[in-house]
Amino acid sequence: MFSKGLPHFASGVVIKGFGRGSKQLGIPTANFPESVVDSLPQELNTGVYYGWANVDGGPVYKMVMSIGWNPYYKNTKKSMETHILHTFPDDFYGSLLRVCLLGYIRPERDFQSLDDLIAAIKADIVVADEALEKSEMLQYKQDDFFHTNNVEDLCR
């Protein structure tokens, strides 16, 4: 049912991204530190994923995540950028972000225009929104991982 390497659980403190202006596009993406990216299973391809996420042990929301080559490091390192399908009143840099990746949507792509990029991300959000309603996906929303205080349990 799940692709190789999935489900994947990860957590880490939200850091500043590369200021590509995601928020200005209406699609802010929270970035993980390098150590979290380095812990990704080898078999996970770059591209767009969907799953669940929460901030500082709060409510669990749907998310889409882009795993891509990080331009800041001349594309030698990966980055993980999570857009949570929820409107937060404030930024949450420095907070603990927990994610559970469940499904793969599409490979990384280069877009001809900003409009094409925005349209693709909106389509990704629709795919994620629907896929996560399936019972086998919904069950992960309740996972202890999102609320445990035991750091040992955080990454599986």
Q: Which residues contact 146 (CB under 8 A, 6 or more apart)?
A: 52, 54, 57, 60, 98, 100
- Residue with Cβ nearer Mg ion (11 or 81): 81
Three-class secondary structure of residue 7 per DSSP? coil
Q: Is 66 in the site for Mg ion (CB under 5 A)?
A: no
Q: Which of 50, 25, 76 is nearest to 140 (CA)?
A: 50
Q: How many residues does the chain have?
A: 156
- Residue with Cβ nearer ligand ADP (74 or 135): 74
Query: Given candidates 10, 12, 17, 65, which one binds ligand ADP under the rule CB under 6 A?
Result: 17
**Residue 109, Cα to own-chain centre: how many angstroms?**
17
Q: Is 23 in the site for ligand ADP (CB under 6 A)?
A: yes
Q: Binding segment for Mg ion among 13-21, 49-57, 85-93, 100-108 (CB under 5 A)? A: 13-21
Three-state secondary structure of 79-145: EEEEEECCCCCCCCCCCEEEEEEEEEEECCCCCCCHHHHHHHHHHHHHHHHHHCCCHHHHHHHHCHH
**81 flagged as catalytic:** yes
By Cβ distance, which residue is nearest to ligand ADP?
A: 17
Q: Is 29 in the site for Mg ion (CB under 5 A)?
A: yes
Query: Given candidates 9, 12, 22, 140, which one binds ligand ADP under the rule CB under 6 A?
Result: 22
- Residue with Cβ nearer ligand ADP (43 or 129): 129
Q: Which of 81, 133, 136, 152 does the annotation list as catalytic?
A: 81
- Residue with Cβ nearer ligand ADP (3 or 13): 13
Q: Which two tokens stand for residue 90?
A: 């404030």
Q: Which residues pair with 53 in a beta bridge?
A: 61, 99
Residues within the interface to ligand ADP (CB under 6 A): 14, 16-20, 22-23, 28-31, 82-84, 86, 88, 91-93
